[in-house]
Amino acid sequence: MKTRQLGNLQVPAIGYGAMVLSPGIYGDIDDTRAAAALRAALDGGATHVDTSDAYGVDGHNERLVGRAIKGRRDEAVVATKFGLAVPEGEPSRSQKVGYAFGELRVNADPRLVRRYAERSLRNLDTDVIDLYYAHYPDPEVPIEDTVGAMADLVRDGLIKHIGLSNVTAAQLRAAHATHPVTAVQNEWSMWRPVDPELLAAARELGVGIVAWSPLGTGFLTGTVQSLGEGDFRHNAPRFAPENLAANNDRYAPIRALSVQLAITPAQLALAWLLHQDDHVVTIPGSRTPSHISENLAAADLTLHPDTLARIDEALATFEVTGGTLL
Ligand SMILES: NC(=O)c1ccc[n+]([C@@H]2O[C@H](COP(=O)([O-])OP(=O)(O)OC[C@H]3O[C@@H](n4cnc5c(N)ncnc54)[C@H](OP(=O)(O)O)[C@@H]3O)[C@@H](O)[C@H]2O)c1
C-alpha cells in the first residue's frame, strides 16, 4: 500500500474507518462480522484504523479495534477521538448538524481531556494512541485550551499526534499555534467539497487531511437504492427516497465514467480524492471484505488529467438534494 505523510506521521493512502462496525449505525451487525472486516482491512494494508469513543455504546467500537490489533499493535496506526461521549454528570454544548436529529452534544473542556484519553486507552487495550482527535470543537471552549490539554498528553506519552476534526481554517490556525497539529479530519468527497480555506491553511501549516465519509456514506458507490432497518442514514435528508432517486440520477455521469475506466464508482471516488492533494488520505468504512479489497486497490490508480477534468465538469453540475450530513 502506498503511504503518505500527515505532518510527520506516515500512514497508508487508504486506511479504514471502523464506525461502520458498531450496531445502530448501518443497521445491525455482530462482533464476529466486525472482527472479520477489521482483519481484512489490516491484512490488506489499511493499517490506519480510525475509531472514536462515540462510535457504538460505551466504547464498543474502540474495544473492537483493541481486539483486532492485539498481537499486531506495531502494524497499526490507531486514531481515535473524544468530545462527543460526554461522561455522565458533565455538561455539554450543542453542535448543529444536517441530520434530522439536529445536533450533537459536545464537551471538549481541557479538564476532561485526560479522562477521555485514559478511557480510550483502556477500551483500545493499548498504552498509546497514535493520533488523537478532538472530535468537534466545543462552542464554549477556545480550541487552544482543548489543544493545550492534548499537548500535555503528548508530553506524558499517552498520545503521539494531535488531530482536529470538523474544524474551520481559523480554528486550525489557532490550535496549531499552541501545538503542532498532525491531521485534520473533515468530510470530503465527491458530494461534499472541502472548504478551500481549510485546505489552504492545512497546506501552509504542513497539516495532513483525513477525508471522512469518502464514499458519501455509501452513496458514491452507486449501489444504494434504498435503506434497511436501523440505518442512521434515515436521518440524512440526502437519502430520503425522493432525494436519493434524484441524487442517483445526477450521479449517473460519474458512474458511467467509472464503467469506461473499468473500475467501480467506489474506486473512482477514492482515487479522485487522493488526486486532490499529496497530503490527503482517506478512511472508507466497510463491513464486507470484498468491498474492503476493492477500495484498497484504488490507492494504486492513476487518473489521467483528462479524466480529472471530466470529473470536475460532472461535479460542477452535480447539485446534491437534501442538505449536508454534518
Ligand atoms: N470525524 C467525523 O466526524 C466523522 C464522521 C463520519 C465518519 N467518520 C469516519 O469516516 C469513516 C468512513 O465514513 P462512513 O462509514 O460514514 O462512510 P463511507 O466510508 O463514505 O461509506 C461507508 C458505506 O459505504 C459502503 N461501501 C464501502 N465500500 C463499498 C464498496 N466498495 N461497494 C459498495 N459499498 C461500499 C459500506 O457498506 P458495506 O459495509 O456493505 O461495504 C457503508 O455502507 C468512519 O468509519 C469514521 O471513521 C468521521
CATH of the domain at 132: 3.20.20.100
Provide the pLDDT for residue 318: 86
Tell whether the model's pLDDT for residue 194 goes beyond 90.
yes
Question: Is residue 293 included in any domain, yes or no?
Answer: yes
Q: What separation in Å is there between the alpha carbon of 9 and the centre of ligand 1?
A: 23
With a 6 A CB cut-off, is 221 part of the ligand 1 pocket?
A: yes
User: Position of cell 497508508?
Assistant: 12
Question: Is residue 324 included in any domain, yes or no?
Answer: no
Contact by Cβ (8 Å): 272, 282? no
Domain count of the chain? Answer: 1
Residue closest to 48 by CA, chosen among 200, 212, 205: 212
Contact by Cβ (8 Å): 124, 65? yes
Q: What separation in Å is there between the alpha carbon of 148 and the centre of ligand 1?
A: 31
With a 6 A CB cut-off, is 95 part of the ligand 1 pocket?
A: no
pLDDT band at residue 98 under the 50/70/90 scheme:
confident
Provide the pLDDT for residue 257: 97
Provide the pLDDT for residue 75: 97
Atom of ligand 1 nearest to the CA of 52: 47
Question: Is residue 243 included in any domain, yes or no?
Answer: no
With a 6 A CB cut-off, is 216 part of the ligand 1 pocket?
A: yes
With a 6 A CB cut-off, is 16 part of the ligand 1 pocket?
A: no
pLDDT band at residue 317 under the 50/70/90 scheme:
confident
Is 132 noted as a catalytic residue in this protein? no
Question: Is residue 248 included in any domain, yes or no?
Answer: no
With a 6 A CB cut-off, is 26 part of the ligand 1 pocket?
A: yes
Buried b (16+ CB within 10 A) or exposed e, 187-221: bbbbbbebeeebbebbeebebbbbbbbbbbbbbbb
Ligand 1 binding pocket mutation candidate from 22, 78, 82, 217 (most atoms within 8 A of CB): 217
Question: Is residue 93 included in any domain, yes or no?
Answer: yes
pLDDT tens track for 10-30: 999 999 999 999 999 999 999
Question: Is residue 201 included in any domain, yes or no?
Answer: yes
pLDDT tens track for 14-70: 999 999 999 999 999 999 999 999 999 999 999 999 999 999 999 999 999 999 999
Identify the residue whose C-alpha is closest to ligand 1 atom 44.
Answer: 17
Question: Is residue 134 included in any domain, yes or no?
Answer: yes
Question: Is residue 312 included in any domain, yes or no?
Answer: no
Catalytic residue among 16, 55, 132, 136: 55
Q: What separation in Å is there between the alpha carbon of 91 and the centre of ligand 1?
A: 30
Identify the residue whose C-alpha is closest to ligand 1 atom 10.
Answer: 212
CB atoms within 10 A of CB 306: 8
Domain hosting residue 194, numbered range: 9-237+269-301
Contact by Cβ (8 Å): 48, 296? no
Q: What percent of the chain has pLDDT over 70?
A: 99
Tell whether the model's pLDDT for residue 112 goes beyond 90.
yes
pLDDT tens track for 143-182: 999 999 999 999 999 999 999 999 999 999 999 999 999 9
CB atoms within 10 A of CB 301: 16
Q: What separation in Å is there between the alpha carbon of 26 and the centre of ligand 1?
A: 9
Atom of ligand 1 nearest to the CA of 136: 3
